A and B are shown apart, each in its own frame.
Chain A
């Protein structure tokens, strides 16, 4: 068995003392930056890159990779505890995760996230080992038109994220899309909605929007009256998932893993869709739809698994083709080059110890993360006991430091104030922040790929139907719309018939 030989080589490399040590350092740092709002893996990897110049190449890459997937793990913690997501995927986790924390079930939510992430990480690592090169070839078949259709499908499916008024949800998505257009248009260079502020040319950072809309708005809402404030603090029920919880998360974890692993391979933004889509799927097929948004453990387990699986499989284009799917991957390309390895299809044959060692280290890293995170749950949950008047200034302080460190841009800090107030006003109007974030993340992807597809086809819109991948995805989108509309149509017809009789 060639695969077994390769894995043996991989584990013999990854289990070297210094490699395990730096794998641990990586996932520990990753967890830390994931927990802290704002300071993302990209900045951390960039800062540590020069330090790794003196390492063995495989050790350096193991540590840098550990930071990346460690951060995916840690990102859910603050989202669940204090409604402060640091990444788009964690924003989905915050929906039900933080509700669970408010009900005193923070421990169960954190455990579900950790267990789901571990299973997803393991499965995705196996997928990497078994099928990385062919998967990468498939991913390369995706062109702009196909990505457009994929994002459209994701957007239609994810409308399930909203609860309550459909009109308000649509308004929020539209507002999110508009906010997503701020900045310099990548096709023409024209600045949009920047009001002559050069600092806005790069657009509004997702972290600022999420931290403001979720975290700061939540603080404002909590400060409103004494009662909600103490409600967050007082009751902490069982720390671990109950038997019922464990039964409920199996399906979501497996489905989330599959979905995330598949989407993560696509370099053009698949990993962004993973957690949104997983949440939507779980909500749609659940028998307890009314619980979603009110603390459904499926809404934590599914998206977290999807997110982690996608984080692992997004290494596939990088490792097999040398093509980065994500800013962190672009930094890893830099790390390869600095160590004298040219990233590309040759790595797998020229440097088998490095390729397989890195893959094996990912599984070891996932084990380390579980060992690191499960005992920490008790510590995190205890944090909720901190008096709120002490906790909330700290949250704001860290949020401000974190967002400033994104690009040393004061506008990122102003933005959390702006979005905090906006988020508060919207909550007061009964509008949900989640659809806004959905529009903010997917809107620009949709526009970018729509316009690129049309530029490449010279304005011929038929490409969306003549390209097979795109056509299939569009057909699925139509089907999703029909399925969503059917109950309403049927109901209306029944009323009509009732009136006729």
Chain B
């Protein structure tokens, strides 16, 4: 008898652990309020179940953070619930492939960044085609990038840097956060713009790369403001330029690449929302409208400002603008990547 009751107590405890684990496993929904079935038949019934936002990168990264920021206001506008799911792997192609094969009903949505336009050049047998496998919902944000160096690196300006790396191409090291990472792409573009081939040093992620840059183990790299602005303002790294047409609010003294004399170096980590090809137009339209509402949300604007970025203008949060951007980027990167001879598979 005693053992039975003990066993029950323990079983209850295990059940409790089970509940915790399930909650933990499912709490990816974040703070999305459960609007429930406010849609009704009048508005076509969408959404009448949870919408899954697939993030093809790890939880907590910049793309994941942006997704979770807009998920809440979007869910409120749509009158449904949005669950964020991180399907990682192979530079975002695992998650993108999964969404491409998903039911085109608007309940599986993909958030992807610049990697959507580089994957066809980097990966063989991708299993999907960016322009043909998806419907575009709209652009979300464009995160600027910065060119930074160890603080005792000789060149003082971007012009100096170009001259210096050309003269010392066999000595200079250019760090990046791994094949296909934004920092890798920006580094390739820098080499193309400057007309030089440098020794690249890949790292597994931005953290270790930046650590070695601050520690003076490598010479320079290009990465998102999200990752570099703290080190720049503290003077731990030397900054040369920001890679967007306009200066960044949080780093007002940093010139743009155009101002600093390397106008060909234009790159930003742009993000967009996708649904599988064949999703009904009215569903795409609803998602676009919800995206526009989320991007105009003051809270989203404030949170993005803290990440050193901003929502795209309303006219870019549309399928048309998104498609145009993707087409343009696919062309750019196909050439840059082919010229550099990079292959990920």
Interface residues of A (CB under 8 A from B): 32-33, 35-36, 39, 42-51, 53, 140-144, 184, 186-191, 196, 198-199, 201-202, 267-268, 317, 321-325, 327, 329-331, 333-334, 336-340, 342-346, 379, 382-383, 385-387, 390, 394, 397-398, 401-402, 404-405, 407-409, 448, 452, 455-456, 458
Contact = CB atoms under 8 A, between A and B. Distances in A.
Contacts of B108: none
B14 A386 contact: yes
A315 to B, nearest CB: 14
A202 B93 CA distance: 11
Contacts of A387: 7
B178 A386 contact: no
A330 to B, nearest CB: 5
Chain B binding site: helix, strand, loop or mixed by DSSP? Answer: helix
B211 A268 contact: yes
Contact of B207 (A35, A329, A455): A329
B211 A455 contact: no
B22 A401 contact: yes
A398 B207 contact: no
Contacts of A405: 24-25
B298 interface: no
A321 to B, nearest CB: 6
Interface residues of B, number: 78
Interface string B1-35: 00100110111011001101110110110110000
A323 B211 contact: yes
Contact of A334 (B6, B65, B170, B216): B65
B87 to A, nearest CB: 5
B218 interface: yes
B88 interface: yes
A188 B179 contact: yes
Chain A binding site: helix, strand, loop or mixed by DSSP? Answer: helix
A385 B211 contact: no
Contacts of B30: 47, 50-51
Contacts of A327: 58, 60
B36 interface: no
Contacts of A338: 65, 303, 306-307
B31 A51 contact: yes
Residue in B179, B203, B215, B218 whose Cβ sees the most chain A Cβ within 10 Å? B215
Interface stretch (B140-148, B159-167, B278-286, B337-345): B337-345
Given A43-B24, A409-B94, A456-B218, 16 more contacts: A36-B17, A42-B59, A42-B60, A45-B60, A140-B211, A143-B215, A186-B179, A201-B89, A268-B208, A337-B307, A340-B306, A342-B233, A342-B234, A345-B234, A386-B10, A456-B217
Interface stretch (B224-232, B269-277, B287-295, B310-318): B224-232
B60 A385 contact: no
Contacts of B306: 337-340
Residue in A35, A53, A143, A397 whose Cβ sees the most chain B Cβ within 10 Å? A53
Contacts of B72: 50
B94 A201 contact: yes
Contact of A330 (B60, B202, B236, B307): B60
A140 B215 contact: yes
A383 B85 contact: no
Nearest to A382: B10
